[in-house]
Each structure stands twice: as C-alpha cells, then as structure tokens.
A and B are shown apart, each in its own frame.
Chain A
Amino acid sequence: MDALKQELKKNIIEQLNLEDFTVEDILDDDPLFGDGLGLDSIDALELIVLLDKDYGIKLTDPIEGKIVFKSIEVLANYITENRTK
C-alpha cells in the first residue's frame, strides 16, 4: 500500500506538472483539489486517463471521480480494490 501511495504521488507530480511539489510534500490525506494540491478540472480528466493507463480502471462518472480523487489515501484504496493491471 505504501509503495502504491509513493508511486501515485510521483506519477501525479509528473503527469500534472506540479512543479512546486515533491513526493514528501504530499500527505496521504491532503485534499487533491481545492486548497490542497490546487488541481482543476483538466487535472481531474488527466487523472482519469492515468487510472485507465496505469491500473486499467475506467472511470466515466464525474460524481464517482469526485469521491475517488479526494486524497492519495482514498485513491490508493480505490485502486487496490478495482485495479485490473
């Protein structure tokens, strides 16, 4: 689980070009959107692609997305339960 969280943090920073953040800066329960990492709607769409590409999870319901992308903790749990690769 911890390895997955580390991997997620690294990939999110890379994929979403979060220049001001390092893996150490992101806490497991930091909100990804809003005040936390300050992600926006395009980032959310890009995260959907990341889930599909890296873990074989197809997310199409935006409401589900809002729940899943709450924090690294929530996201990692979701991936563990639903990953197909």
Chain B
Amino acid sequence: MKPVFITANNIISPLGFTSEDNIIQIEKDKSGIVLQDNIGALPCYASIINDELLNSAFKQIGSPESYTKLEKMMMLSLQDTIMKTDFSISDRTALVIATTKGNIDVLNTKTSNFSPDRAYISILGEKIRNFFGFDNEPIIISNACVSGILSVAVAKRLIQNNFYDNAFIVAGDIVSEFTLSGFQSFQAISEKPCKPYSKHRNGITIGEAAAAVAITNQNNSKHSIQIIGDGSHNDANHISGPSRDGEGLFLSIQSAMEEAEIAPSNIDYISAHGTATLYNDEMETIAFNRAKLENVPLNSLKGYYGHTLGASGLLESIIGLHSMKNNMLYTSLGMDELGVSMPLNVIQKKKKAEIKVCLKTASGFGGSNTAVLFKKLTLEK
C-alpha cells in the first residue's frame, strides 16, 4: 500500500483564521465559548465566528454577499490550505467535503437571504468546486459527527488505491437554531461551558468551525505526518444513545491499529471526542479501556471550540498534528475531577512530551465511530 501524508492545513474558528493562530490561543488555554443570546429561545453558551471578521477576511477572495456563512468559512479555510500546498489541483486531485448539516440555516426562510434549496449539500459542494476550479465532482461525506475524521480515512483510502494522487479535504458546520433546539430537545445542552470527562459535566456546548487539509502520496517535507491506519465501525445498538460497551469505537481503534501494525504502547496521545454528555464520555472510557489505552495522555478539545459537529474530527486532527510537531500535550479544557467509571489519563495541564503517534477518534448519532492513526516521520535529508 502506498504511504499517504497529511500536509498543509487550516482552521477557521473563533480562535483564529489560521491553524497557527488557533494553536497560540490553545497554548494559553483560551476558549472560543461565550454566552450567546440570539441563537435559540433562551441564552446559551456557544462558540461562534464573528460575522464582521469573517466577511472582512472573505473580501480578499470573493463577494461576501454571494455566499452563506458556512460557504465563506469553508472557502477561506480551503483557500489558505491550497496556498500553503506544494502541489496544484489536477484531474488526479480529489475534493472531499465533510459536513453534518451543511447550509441548514437557509431552511428558516424568515431569517435567511438564500433560497431553501441551498440546503442541498450537493449545491454547497458545487459552490466550493466552482470557486476553486476543481476538475472532479466533489466527494461529499455526511455521516453525523464523525464526518470530519471519516473524510480523512476516505481520502487516504482512495489515494492508497491509486484512484487519486492527492486530495483537499474541507469540513465545516455552523451553529444554528436547528441544531441547538434539537440538542436541547435531547436535554443534551450544558448550562455552563462543557466539561469533558469531568465529574461535573452536564452536556455539550455547540460551536462552529471550518477546517481543511491537503493529503498526498508525495512526501516532500522534512517533517511529515503519515496516516497509518483507520477504521469506522457501527455500534449496531441505538440510533442516538452511545453504546454501553463502546463496541463500535473499540472495533474502529482495533482496525486502525491492526492496519498500522502497532501496539497500544506505541500510541503517545489520543485526541478523543469528549462531547461532555454523561453517556458519550462513559462510552469512550469503556472503549479506551477495552483497547488498553487508559494510560495514554488524552484530551477533548470541545472545551475550546464546543462541538463543531462535522468539522470537529478534522479540526481536532489538525490540532493533533500541531501537538505532534510541537511535542506538546494541550490541556483538556474544562477537566477538573475525573467523572467516568474507569481510569483515563486526561491531560489536566499542558506539558511537553515526545509525540510520535497520535490516535484521533470520534463517535456520533447513527451508531457511527471512526478512529485514525497519524505518525510523525523525520526524514534524514
């Protein structure tokens, strides 16, 4: 199998419009979550991108009035990534798009300036494709909250099997009354900013972000990161409740580790899902213990960004890549007292550590789970 590498990347979030700016804020334990009073029926905490900042950044590349907020976020993210990439778009380049809900805000015809048809995700895909002039029809993944990380596995597999030479992935989701009210109806929204794995956790905080990466079969840089294994298994248990035995997540991790031919002791860091609902965090803990990974330093980045749905898996992978490059384990923001039934090594305070292999996981509605393994290579040149 051909090796596949993950290279240039970008994050558009309330913490900044480049990956580097985001890392600077994370180094300072700064969160994008603030109290909002104009999304749903009642005020609530969320991590939201300022419209004016977004529009003024977008003006550099296009007309802000012509595109929805999500499109602008995703296009800006992809633009920065393409600029930083050493290959150009060709007929061997895949455009992979990941989103859970796409332009869902256009369904509210009272507040949206766009046609409700803009909610078709294939239209979102075409907008992005045309904006950058991709040759190929976009490959769009909408697989609940694992969409972002699953898109990495999909792109890697297509390149490995020689259907493409490289790919750009862009993932994004916005905060909308639609998703907020839905999670509220599930009694899943935390009154305070979310606290993953904490004894005092009380549900999720939602957020919005876009993230993009370049993936290629060419390894040109001195420090590069290879995607060495992946898996995406179903719990076959319940469409909204996390499985009690962590089966799908466990199977996903096993599959990724078998492909990478590594043992639990080879994994230096886990970027987990950690939504901060009682059941999700408990389910992950069980799966990590079953996989003998309970001692590996782990964080959830939801305390910085909230749950950014389809963007989260890709965004958090990018922070993971920077953790590997910087050899830094970043604080799992919101963690104080461990509140799960089994051991877990949650990073309470950021610290230096050699990180060669990182495991990224996510789980979502529909019983979906995904695990991807990244490995840092340092080439002698």
Interface residue ranges, A against B (CB under 8 Å): 40-42, 45, 48-49, 60, 62
Q: Could you say which residues of chain A place their CB within 8 Å of the CB of B240?
A: 41-42
B4 CB → nearest A CB, Å:
39
Q: Could you say which residues of chain B place their CB within 8 Å of the CB of A42?
A: 239-240
Q: Could you say which residues of chain A place their CB within 8 Å of the CB of B239?
A: 42
Closest 3 CB pairs of A and B: A41-B241, A42-B240, A45-B186
Chain B 168-198 residues near chain A, CB threshold 8 A: 185-187
B67-103 contact mask (Cβ, 8 Å, vs A): 1 or 0: 0000000000000000000000000000000000000
User: How long is the Cα–Cα vector from A40 to B240 in the complex, in angstroms?
Assistant: 11
Q: How many residues of B contact A (CB 8 A)?
A: 7
User: How long is the Cα–Cα vector from A60 to B241 in the complex, in angstroms?
Assistant: 18
Q: Could you say which residues of chain A place their CB within 8 Å of the CB of B186?
A: 45
- Docked-complex contact A49 and B187, CB < 8 angstroms: no
Question: Known contacts being A41-B240, A41-B241, A42-B240, is A62 close to B187, with CB within 8 Å?
Answer: yes
User: How long is the Cα–Cα vector from A41 to B185 in the complex, in angstroms?
Assistant: 12
User: How long is the Cα–Cα vector from A9 to B372 in the complex, in angstroms?
Assistant: 48
A70 CB → nearest B CB, Å:
19
B338 CB → nearest A CB, Å:
22
B7 CB → nearest A CB, Å:
42
Interface residue ranges, B against A (CB under 8 Å): 185-187, 238-241
Majority DSSP secondary structure for residues of B touching A: loop
- Docked-complex contact B185 and A49, CB < 8 angstroms: yes
User: How long is the Cα–Cα vector from A40 to B239 in the complex, in angstroms?
Assistant: 11
Q: Name 13 A/B residue pairs within 8 A (Cβ), A-sorted.
A: A40-B238, A41-B238, A41-B240, A41-B241, A42-B239, A42-B240, A45-B185, A45-B186, A45-B187, A48-B187, A49-B185, A60-B187, A62-B187
A78 CB → nearest B CB, Å:
18
User: How long is the Cα–Cα vector from A16 to B241 in the complex, in angstroms?
Assistant: 18
Q: Could you say which residues of chain B place their CB within 8 Å of the CB of A48?
A: 187
User: How long is the Cα–Cα vector from A60 to B186 in the complex, in angstroms?
Assistant: 10
User: How long is the Cα–Cα vector from A62 to B240 in the complex, in angstroms?
Assistant: 16
User: How long is the Cα–Cα vector from A60 to B42 in the complex, in angstroms?
Assistant: 15
Which chain B residue has the least Cβ–Cβ distance from A60?
B187
Which chain B residue has the least Cβ–Cβ distance from A44?
B187
User: How long is the Cα–Cα vector from A41 to B186 in the complex, in angstroms?
Assistant: 9
Most buried by A among B185, B187, B240: B187
B343 CB → nearest A CB, Å:
26
User: How long is the Cα–Cα vector from A49 to B241 in the complex, in angstroms?
Assistant: 18
User: How long is the Cα–Cα vector from A19 to B241 in the complex, in angstroms?
Assistant: 23
Which chain B residue has the least Cβ–Cβ distance from A49?
B185
A50 CB → nearest B CB, Å:
12
Q: Could you say which residues of chain A place their CB within 8 Å of the CB of B185?
A: 45, 49
Which chain B residue has the least Cβ–Cβ distance from A62?
B187
Which chain A residue has the least Cβ–Cβ distance from B241?
A41
Q: Could you say which residues of chain A place their CB within 8 Å of the CB of B187?
A: 45, 48, 60, 62
Q: Could you say which residues of chain B place their CB within 8 Å of the CB of A40?
A: 238
Which chain A residue has the least Cβ–Cβ distance from B278?
A62
Q: Could you say which residues of chain B place their CB within 8 Å of the CB of A41?
A: 238, 240-241
Q: Could you say which residues of chain B place their CB within 8 Å of the CB of A60?
A: 187
Q: Could you say which residues of chain A place their CB within 8 Å of the CB of B238?
A: 40-41
**Further contacts, 10 of them, CB under 8 A, given A41-B240, A41-B241, A45-B185:** A40-B238, A41-B238, A42-B239, A42-B240, A45-B186, A45-B187, A48-B187, A49-B185, A60-B187, A62-B187
B185 CB → nearest A CB, Å:
6
B27 CB → nearest A CB, Å:
38
Which chain B residue has the least Cβ–Cβ distance from A40?
B238
Which chain A residue has the least Cβ–Cβ distance from B279?
A41
